Amino acid sequence: MVTTRCDSIDILEYNAWLIEEVNSSYIRNTIYGAYFAGLHISTRYTIKSADLWALNGVSPTVDFMHKYGTMTRKATILDKQTVEYKTVVKIPARRISIESIKDFNKWLDTIKSEAQLRFYGLKI
């Protein structure tokens, strides 16, 4: 999604690879506990805006620690028009009890909600 006014730009992209992996990790079983095989995703996106814009803001750094795993994301402005996003999600293999499935799936929801890559710019 791109929102522009005459003097500024707001661009929102999604970490599609991360979203797809998380979508396939939900535990849908409601009768028994489940074994989760684990997940380790590392993504890097480099986004360059048109020369008309100078970047002046990016998505915030994320550093989540949860009982089921971790998620980190860092955005670095490389130059006036280029930003790089690095995201790492690690969820170790483990058995998820039937009582914990809802909590585990909420953790996956949190990861998906932070899969947005946003940057802002001003007209040069």
Kindly report, residue by residue over 16-58, the tens digit of the pLDDT.
999 999 999 999 998 999 999 999 999 999 999 888 899 999 9
Distance CA 12, CA 119 (A): 7
Sheet holding 2-4, edge to edge: 2-4, 8-14, 116-123, 53-58
pLDDT > 90: percent of the chain: 85
Q: Do the strands 2-4 and 8-14 form a parallel or antiparallel pair, or are they unpaired?
A: antiparallel
Is 31 inside a domain boundary?
yes
Number of structural domains in the chain:
1
* Residue 33 domain-assigned (yes or no): yes
Domain presence at residue 7? no
> What does pTM read for this prediction?
0.89
Q: Residue 108: its pLDDT value, please?
A: 98
Q: Is 46 in contact with 82 (CB distance < 8 Å)? A: yes
Q: Is residue 42 assigned to a domain?
A: yes
Task: Give the pLDDT mean for 68-74.
Answer: 98
**What is the domain range of residue 76?**
16-50+59-115
CATH number at residue 97: 2.60.120.1130
pLDDT band at 6 (very low <50, low <70, confident <90, very high): confident
Q: What's the confidence (pLDDT) of residue 111?
A: 97
How crowded is residue 71: how many other Cβ atoms within 10 Å of its Cβ? Answer: 21
